[in-house]
């Protein structure tokens, strides 16, 4: 899509993250996928290029962009690798609670570090609390000036690698969702440990790990917002982060399209390049239509979030669902266009298909998203 509507700053973000994706990430993506390692050398490059600060306010050392700038960067980096890009994108997920609900001291202390390239993570999911985030078992019990955290968080992106963790724990179980509180916990805090490293289908250049709290004492200054606000912090964070997941899906989808067009043009069968066959042409055109539609909705939703629209749950969910479904569809088509080669790890498209799948699942499955959308529709009807 043309970037003619972008500001100068947005063009810079796009240009630089595109350069990093093409020159630094794409060449090593298969290697990280194979080794399942955390991409520290790429994190260093992103930090030195100021990318971590794209969505952080200037007074905390960032460039003052918002969800849209973050989405632009995530899309480009995910073109390079949908796993490696998470070092950046999931840091955003861990950072939004502080941006949205943190007090000035917390912002000064943590956002300045994150803008310089400190990795963050968001801890909400547990073994028995996935889509049903209300059934969190991790507890936080007040003890003087501290809270004592106990429990195990599961499938935490950037887990073990991040230095800053935003954690949702129950301060009052009786109140259910209203008894949840958000905390900031720094790596190195006694009682914060890391468990099993997960072996995954895709996004293998990202770390997914258990985060374990055992009598972990967290000072009360580290409460985000106030006691009982944890669930609201989490839901609002997801409203802001979903365009980011959508952008990750979009980057993967664009890569699938680019690789497919290139391959279809090069691949010769029956004495002609396969891009001259209408069967392939229609597939490529349909992929392009879907990718462009996804981009339109991702960009628009991010811009609307940044413009300050309050009721964004439906739009965020729509962007996330549509873009991730598109990513899945076009990556499957990419493998099909590559034929037997597409099935081989030597070629880049099977990885895209594996990486795309998670975007339909995490930060709320697409079924949960459709539930959110439907609930909004019914609510809107009742308000009419």
Partner 1 sequence: MNVIVCIKQVPNTTQVRINPETNTLIREGVESVINPFDMYAIEEGIRLKEKLGGKVTVLTMGPPQAEEALKEAISLGCDEAVLLTDRNFAGSDTWATSYVLSQAVKKIGDYHIILCGKQASDGDTAQVGPGISTHLNIPQVTYVKKIEEINDKKARVERMTEEGFEIIETPVPCLFTVVKEINEPRLPSLKGKMRAKKAEIRKMTAEDLNCDFDKIGLDGSPTRVVKIFTPPARKGGEILKGDIQEIVERLAKELKGEI
Residues in the site for partner 1, rule: CB under 8 A? 8-9, 12-13, 15-16, 19-20, 23-24, 45, 48-51, 53-54, 63
Q: Minimum CB separation from partner 1 for residue 24, in Å?
A: 7
Choice between 45 and 304, CB closer to partner 1: 45
Q: Minimum CB separation from partner 1 for residue 28, in Å?
A: 14
Q: Minimum CB separation from partner 1 for residue 38, in Å?
A: 20
363 is catalytic: yes
Catalytic residue among 31, 198, 363, 380: 363
Q: Minimum CB separation from partner 1 for residue 49, in Å?
A: 5
Cβ density class 252-291: b for 16+ within 10 Å, e for less: bbbbbbebbbebbeebeeeeeebbeeeebeebbeebeebb
CA nearest to 224, candidates 343, 99, 59: 99
The token pair that represents 231 in the structure block:
């669930």
How far is residue 342's CA from residue 67's CA, in Å, rounded to a whole number? Answer: 34
How far is residue 156's CA from residue 276's CA, in Å, rounded to a whole number? Answer: 45
Choice between 21 and 313, CB closer to partner 1: 21
Choice between 12 and 141, CB closer to partner 1: 12
**Residue 97 · residue 167 · CB < 8 Å:** no
Choice between 15 and 36, CB closer to partner 1: 15
Choice between 15 and 163, CB closer to partner 1: 15
Could you give phi then psi for residue 190, rounded to 5 degrees?
-60, 135
Choice between 9 and 36, CB closer to partner 1: 9
Q: Minimum CB separation from partner 1 for residue 4, in Å?
A: 18
Q: Minimum CB separation from partner 1 for residue 108, in Å?
A: 19
How many other CB atoms are found less than 10 A from the CB of residue 25?
25
How far is residue 212's CA from residue 31's CA, in Å, rounded to a whole number? Answer: 29
The token pair that represents 235 in the structure block:
């839901």
**Torsion-angle region of 200 (φ positive above 0: left; ψ -120 to 50: alpha; else: beta):** beta
Q: Minimum CB separation from partner 1 for residue 207, in Å?
A: 24
Alpha-helical runs (H) found in the chain: 8-20, 26-35, 40-48, 67-80, 86-101, 104-106, 112-115, 230-266, 278-306, 313-338, 340-343, 349-359, 366-383
**Residue 230 · residue 169 · CB < 8 Å:** yes
Q: Minimum CB separation from partner 1 for residue 62, in Å?
A: 9
Radius of gyration of the chain (CA): 21
The token pair that represents 35 in the structure block:
């080794």
CA nearest to 248, candidates 96, 98, 373, 70: 70
How far is residue 379's CA from residue 381's CA, in Å, rounded to a whole number? Answer: 5
Choice between 12 and 373, CB closer to partner 1: 12
CA nearest to 171, candidates 129, 131, 111, 220: 220
**Torsion-angle region of 168 (φ positive above 0: left; ψ -120 to 50: alpha; else: beta):** beta
Choice between 116 and 146, CB closer to partner 1: 116
Q: Which residues are catalytic?
A: 363
């Amino acid at each position: 899509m043309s970037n003619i509507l972008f500001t100068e700053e947005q063009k810079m973000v796009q240009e630089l993250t595109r350069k990093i994706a093409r020159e630094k990430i794409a060449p090593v993506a298969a290697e990280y996928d194979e080794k399942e390692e955390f991409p520290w050398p790429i994190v260093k490059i992103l930090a030195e290029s100021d990318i971590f600060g794209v969505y952080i306010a200037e007074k905390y050392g960032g460039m003052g962009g918002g969800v849209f700038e973050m989405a632009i960067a995530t899309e480009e980096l995910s073109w390079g690798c949908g796993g490696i890009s998470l070092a950046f994108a999931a840091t955003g997920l861990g950072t939004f609670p502080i941006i949205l609900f943190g007090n000035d001291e917390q912002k000064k202390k943590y956002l300045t570090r994150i803008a310089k390239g400190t990795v963050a993570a968001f801890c909400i999911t547990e073994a028995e609390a996935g889509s049903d985030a209300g059934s969190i078992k991790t507890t936080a019990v007040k003890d003087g000036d501290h809270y004592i955290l106990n429990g195990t968080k599961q499938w935490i992106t950037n887990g073990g690698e991040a230095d800053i963790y935003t954690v949702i724990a129950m301060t009052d179980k009786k109140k259910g969702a209203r008894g949840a509180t958000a905390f900031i916990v720094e790596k190195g805090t006694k009682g914060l440990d890391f468990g099993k490293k997960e072996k995954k289908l895709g996004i293998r250049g990202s770390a997914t790990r258990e985060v374990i709290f055992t009598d972990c004492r967290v000072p009360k200054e580290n409460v985000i917002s106030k006691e009982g606000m944890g669930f609201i912090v989490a839901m609002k964070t997801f409203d802001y982060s979903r365009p980011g997941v959508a952008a990750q899906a979009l980057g993967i989808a664009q890569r699938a399209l680019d690789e497919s067009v290139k391959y279809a043009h090069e691949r010769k069968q029956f004495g002609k390049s396969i891009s001259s066959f209408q069967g392939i042409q229609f597939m490529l055109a349909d992929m392009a239509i879907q990718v462009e539609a996804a981009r339109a909705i991702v960009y628009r939703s991010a811009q609307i979030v940044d413009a300050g629209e309050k009721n964004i749950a439906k739009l965020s969910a729509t962007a996330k669902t549509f873009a991730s479904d598109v990513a899945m569809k076009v990556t499957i088509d990419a493998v099909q266009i590559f034929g037997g080669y597409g099935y081989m790890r030597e070629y880049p498209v099977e990885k895209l298909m594996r990486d795309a799948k998670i975007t339909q699942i995490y930060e709320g499955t697409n079924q949960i998203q459709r539930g959110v959308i439907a609930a909004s529709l019914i609510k809107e009807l009742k308000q009419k």
